[in-house]
Amino acid sequence: MAEARRRSWRSAVAAALACALTLAGPGSWSAAGAQSKLPALGDTDSADFTVGTERKLGDEIMREIHVDPDYIDDPLLLEYLETVWRPLVAASRSLGNITADIDQRFAWEPFLVRDPSVNAFALPGGFVGVHLGLIAITATRDELASVLAHEMSHVSQRHIARSISGDSKRSLVGLAALVLGLIAASRSRSPDAMSAVVAGTQAGTLQGQLNFSREVEREADRVGFQVMTSAGFAPGGMAAMFEKMDASMRLNDFGGFPYLRTHPLTVERIGEARARAGIGTAAPRVSVLEHTVAQARARVLMDPRVDALRRWQSRDADREGNAADKLRALSESALASSLLRDWARADTAFAGALAIVRASPNSSARAERAVVLMQAQSQLDRGAPAQAAETMKAYATDGSRPSLLLDAQIALIATPTITPESTALKANASALQTWVAVHPDDSLAWSALGQTWGRLGVPLRSIRAEAEARYALGDLLGAVDRLRAGQRLARGGGPVDFIDASVLDSRLRAIEVQRKQILADQHATR
């Protein structure tokens, strides 16, 4: 599996470079093409690597990452990550770090990677990857926010563009080395892997491109600290995270801290973080319980092997610690037991977790909701949709992505055959259609919509939604195949809605044009 994963991430590099090298023609690197004004360090080289070029490079990388087996779209965990990320984006905008040009052109999108190593990484175009191992090691939302704010600052300060540009004679080599270095650093668990990458690509010149310079790291710390505190997170979060990673790496790294090999900690950086924490404005107290549930979920999901799940399941025997410690242990046991299909033990752990949340003086409504939605998913997984619907009834119409997708799953399992008059299915189709109109890149929502339309007996809409789900994952060929199947169905002589058929034809033409452009870009670099 490891070799397959490496091949998948190598294909991401190949696809990204096919696009980027085409874009990097003489006109692309001219100062006249610059689209952004860069703050702080004063390196004007990045003006040669335009905002549009950077976003297109990021999109090409993400197209391959989306189909990697370790890319994970967990609605509940991703929703929590977004609750930390969105305030940081808003604060960065208000501080002027995210300027109008990059605000509109960049994605500003975090995503999850199923990997137990402690790592996070920024990619071109505003994408930030977060390993589940990073969430698993953080004790508070403030610690997680410090890493996200740091990575966001690499993007907003256009450090990636600075690394890619530079001397025009080596700009393309620098681009290739940077992308390869980012991917290798983000996925490697071996301290020797980065050295091997560097050795294979002119070590002396490219070492400075693969790892952000000390000055750049310190700028990202400074800007990131300002962003996280402006967003309302505790000033001590960054220092606490640095100290935790430093201590853990010195004691038992074993390749589990790739973040510290691409973002090396120094005594100066830790000291500056401590100093800033001492003068920062105190943040309002926030219950830690929601983060505790997210931390527990990340720990269980980051390693799905049976022996690992059994270790997490045994955590229900832990009785020591404060409310957060007990909640973490019971949440880990409940989720692991559900994945092992030990339903009775899962129910006992869920009940214990809910009792702790409700009895805690620092009770958190969002923590309770997270546990309830996990419990409803567990009930659904055992084939009890009515029980799951009753469990999540209070949150079924809260408008959130996890509730929307879970409610759709419940209705589909409760209605196993084509039922055109199902009220529940119609309501879900309407809600999902509204959601994807605002979030067209949500593959899970499109997939749920496709299944729902199919169960309602509307095949063209079902096929179109399935195609959009493939497209959202970057599988353009798969999307084209589904749309062509829809065309064949429409021409088969049965009853067809003219509007549905026209929408399908229009999407097929648009996606085929995009595919041809990508293939042309790749061919031009050979």
pLDDT tens-digit series, residues 375-432: 999 999 999 999 999 999 999 999 999 999 999 999 999 999 999 999 999 999 999 9
- Burial status of residue 502 (CB atoms within 10 A of its CB: 0-12, 13-18, 19 or more): exposed
Q: For residue 67, what pLDDT is reported? A: 84
Tell which residue, 305, 309, 348, has the closest CA to residue 332. Answer: 309
Beta pairing, strands 109-113 & 71-72: antiparallel
Distances (CA, A) of 269 to 36, 242, 249, 275, 319: 29, 9, 16, 10, 38
116 Cβ neighbours under 8 A, 6+ residues apart: 131, 132, 133, 136, 256, 302, 303
Q: For residue 428, what pLDDT is reported? A: 97
Tell which residue, 168, 135, 202, 148, has the closest CA to residue 46. Answer: 168
Number of structural domains the chain divides into: 1
Q: For residue 256, what pLDDT is reported? A: 60
Domain contains 31: yes
Secondary structure tally for the chain: helices H, strands E: 26, 4
Strand partners, 109: 127
Distances (CA, A) of 74 to 20, 298, 354, 444, 466: 30, 10, 21, 10, 19
Strand partners, 112: 72, 130
Q: For residue 20, what pLDDT is reported? A: 42
pLDDT in tens, the chain (526 residues): 554 554 444 444 444 444 443 443 333 322 223 333 333 333 444 456 788 888 888 888 888 888 888 999 999 999 999 999 999 999 999 999 999 999 999 999 999 999 998 888 888 899 999 999 999 999 999 999 999 999 999 999 988 777 766 544 344 444 544 554 555 554 554 445 444 443 444 344 434 444 556 778 888 899 999 999 999 999 899 988 888 877 766 655 555 666 655 666 666 777 777 788 777 666 677 789 999 999 999 999 999 999 999 999 999 998 888 999 999 999 999 999 999 999 999 999 999 999 999 998 877 899 999 999 999 999 999 999 999 999 999 999 999 999 999 999 999 999 999 999 999 999 999 999 999 999 999 999 999 999 999 999 999 999 999 999 999 998 999 999 999 999 999 988 777 788 999 999 999 999 999 998 888 776 665 5
H or E segment at 409?
A: helix 401-414
Residue carrying structure tokens 């969105």: 86
How long is the chain?
Answer: 526
Q: What is the DSSP string of 24-76?
A: TSGGGGSGGG------TT--GGGGGS-HHHHHHHHHHHHHHHTTSTTEE--HH
Q: For residue 253, what pLDDT is reported? A: 52
SS3 128: strand
Domain contains 434: no
Domain contains 395: no
- Burial status of residue 239 (CB atoms within 10 A of its CB: 0-12, 13-18, 19 or more): buried
From CA 510, how far away is CA 349, in angstroms rounded?
50
From CA 134, how far away is CA 147, in angstroms rounded?
9
Domain contains 323: no
Q: For residue 182, what pLDDT is reported? A: 52
From CA 370, how far away is CA 294, in angstroms rounded?
8
Q: For residue 187, what pLDDT is reported? A: 54
Domain contains 192: yes
* Contact in structure between 345 and 51 (CB atoms under 8 Å): no
From CA 44, how far away is CA 424, in angstroms rounded?
57
Domain contains 510: no
Give the residue numbers spanning the domain of 124: 2-279
Give the torsion sign (CA, 23, 29, 35, 40). positive
Domain contains 109: yes
Q: For residue 168, what pLDDT is reported? A: 40
pLDDT digits (tens, 9 = 90+) for 238-277: 988 888 877 766 655 555 666 655 666 666 777 777 788 7
Domain contains 471: no
Tell which residue, 374, 226, 235, has the closest CA to residue 292. Answer: 374
Q: For residue 320, what pLDDT is reported? A: 87
Q: For residue 273, what pLDDT is reported? A: 77
SS3 291: helix
Q: For residue 293, what pLDDT is reported? A: 98
Q: For residue 260, what pLDDT is reported? A: 59
Tell which residue, 230, 228, 231, 213, has the closest CA to residue 269. Answer: 213
Distances (CA, A) of 507 to 67, 93, 520: 21, 34, 20
